[in-house]
Chains A and B, each alone.
Chain A
Amino acid sequence: MDLLLDLKIPSLTEPEALAYLQAHLPEEVDSSLFTSISPLILDPTSTVRSAVLSLVRAIPSSSLAPHVHLISLYIHSGMTHLAPDIRADSSKFLLFVLKAEDADIPMQLVSRSWEKTLHCFGSLLGWDLASPPPPGSSIPAGSGNWNKVGNATSIDRIAKAAGHLDALSLFLRLGLSENLTPEMQAQRKVPVYHADTYKHLIPRNATTPYARLGLFVEGKGRRWTAVSSTEDIGARYQLLKSMLPGILAGLDSGRRQGGEIGRKCKHLIDFLDKVNSETEKLQ
């Protein structure tokens, strides 16, 4: 790609260079662009990050799709980053991926790195997802941790927290509700030998249907790797269940704060309750 050859990597950290790239973006974008711009998600200067965001937005989603895994790795890295503003910006990128036009893009993220993303949200919002609080306690352990989101002014903090919450709620909705395309619904109707047959079929839109088998994942320690077997809603819910008390506690304390955050938290709590009751009904 001659555009990249012109612009060496160091110069790529200039926002102007990124803007130039955005202006001269070709029809077909190949992988070298992604390998060089995705590290900039973790760039210390905020102008560069915003330039990268706008550049990524300009890229057609068809060429984005094969590189979601790479980008999501960097987003995860950003969500656990030590610098607060990089952490804050990471949800913007996440939101962008989740809102992508091509439905396959967010589903890749949801199905392949469900657990890891949730953990990242935990550290982003300062919730303790690993050890749920004892059921009797009214005030959750993570209540004070809202402060951790950033050490800037309160308005700024609220805006950031709101961004994170938006991302979280979208992520959860995508992962937990069946938004079947008409095509899939039609497919499900066709020769149904059993009501649950579709559960055992290979999902058509899955890019890596056998990822959960870990055939090409090296090493033993797969605890926090991005790939986990979360291809269907049931598995995802099972994973969420262990973290649910922590999440709910966090949301609850957010709801008490009132305002915009409180509203968002309340919506999310409602949604989670609904999902909870539906799944229990199924079982």
Chain B
Amino acid sequence: MKRFFSLNSSAKRRPSRRGPVVNASTLRHAFDRRAFVIGGMQYGVGILLAGRMAYLAIAENEKYRLASESNRVNLTLIPPRRGWIMDRNGAPLASNRADFRVDVIPERLADPEKTIDEIGALLALEPTRIADIKSKLEGARGFAAVEVASGLNYEQFAALSVRLPDMQGVLPQRGFSRYYPTASSVGHLIGYVGPASAEEYELDRNPILITPGHKIGKDGLEKQFEQRLRGTPGARRVEVTAGGRVLRDLESREDIQGDPVKLTIDGPLQDYAARRIGLESGSVVVMDCQTGDLLCMASMPSFDPNSFSDGIGSAEYAMLREDQRVPLRNKVLKGLYPPGSTVKPMHCMAFLKAGISPQETISCAGGRRIGNRFFNCWSNHGTVDMAKAIYQSCDSYFYHYAQQIGFDKVAEMAKDLGMGQEFELPVTSQFYGTVPDPDWKLNKFDREWEPFDTVNASIGQGYYLASPLQLAVMSARLATGKRLNPRLILNSEAPSPPDYNFDADEITYIRKAMSDVVNGPGTAGRGRLPLDDVKMAGKTGTAQVVSLSVSDGRSGPWKYRDHGLFTFFAPTENPRYAGAVVIEHGGGSGAAYPIARDVMTFMFDPQKGMDALTSLERQWGGTAQQRLDQRYAAYAAERGAEVRPPPRRDEDIFDQVEAEARVAAEQTQEIGETFVAPRPTANPSGTPPPDAVTPSTGIQSSNPAAAPTTTPSGPQASGAN
């Protein structure tokens, strides 16, 4: 416009200033001039448009061609099938099964609430599940897919697919989902999978992490071996409309399945042990005495990794949180307990090394005077030598000799045999417990070591804390005299653990005494294996968590009851397997050693072991998984609507569990501030906690004898891989 005026004004202004010299001729001239200028302006616009178009089409052609291609072509990553996690015999502990699933992309939803309601109605989802999805959507990052449901059948999938044109941002797809055949039995060991969180995507900007349907390891071995299990995503290039409708496939590349991880775990044994724990809260560890292979690391009660992998539901989470048996805690690694009398054989080894002859005796008069104070034994044992001290678990003997050689030496032996140690294992975390000694006490509490500390520690009480894994390692090292290290991943190289400098005589002596605990005049007579050719040796332990004045350890509030412990190995003469059983608040060792007995029976004679379990599970109301499912159904029906949702990040859940486990361990140590007077019973046991009672919803007849066959029931759906 400017050019127009500047061209014109000089010509026009002169006449108008001079006055109204306007006639037909000047108007005609003005018209011609101005029409000419307008024409010129139109040409100008035309040239501008042509130039602009040439610029777009030639100079920026490359850029816009790319933009057009990226509009047209959509690259979809196909989540790779995850590598299997297998037991030592190649049976899957974690596999994949083909299924149909549906995700939503939050940023593409026009009306999230309405869409979720529609999908919920279509798939008949539970109201709690719908509420969970909505709350998850609120906190979700726009681009990352949120799982709505998985494991759909074909009819549901088809019903949803038909309605897709009206549902922007809803992605039904065929894929593979993680499947754990033995479910809760391997929950703590294997962990579970879930969609990557925002933080995980920040750390690893791999586009596969935000691909709908792709899940990564969230806990346990799934997390530890994430990179190895992940595999290589496949890809599909498709032509899509602006609305997201796929017109045709351009090319596609198959995914490459992740590498498998082979564990030392014996799948059937793991499942058996987990189920055998029954209504109690505890853990069972079994090690191979030649290689250190961990055959079983069961921690119960547990969560169902299948259900966690679908997303942790509010009701499910609340139920697990409220259970005082802490089903979210992996007790094998993060349960710390006073080892109680189970350390006595190991302490005896320390005495032997300090030059105490096994034949030396003391007199137990229902206790022993140490310094100027009398400390009770749990019973009056009369004259006691080393063997009797072990099989009768005489406390006085240990008070006396620990005081005599000094607890430093005992602690040294304890640490050498694995107490207070961490092991090289592919686990997210493990607690190392405490072997108390004067230095440690001074450091921690700024107090001097007192004689009663030696007394407490000599019988595995007081500040002493150990995890079930450490107890199993101690048991295996003591039984073999070899520095066995636990291992979890099976590889070809057979470890050759170095010997301790134990004499064969010493080892034989301790083995014999421990055998007598079970097979002789010892404290665990009912622990004898129901087998003719194999004998089990062991040591009972009852760990007090509060002083005698608070509780008798067997009745009263569950959390005040004694822990029941048992370390064992079998066969007695040439140990092949060793292990430990710890039952939290089981009321005493009587709760622990029958489990060890049945687990070892199963090891040598699976049928006999299974029979024992079957009859027990009939009383309990089904297998562990069946009881968990029933409890959940009852809980969701009763409380489902009013529960608080779980933390947004899965990491928070387990951080919280770990923090609580540390606090629990600290609390256990509080008892060490005074002398812990032993219980006056040999191997007591209490009743399971009220939490464990399964609601009788009538489902319990559903074949509790679902045996953990020698190969765990394989993936059930078609196309599993």
A, B from the same assembly: no
A interface residues with partner B (beta carbon < 8 Å): none
Identify the B interface with A (CB < 8 A). none
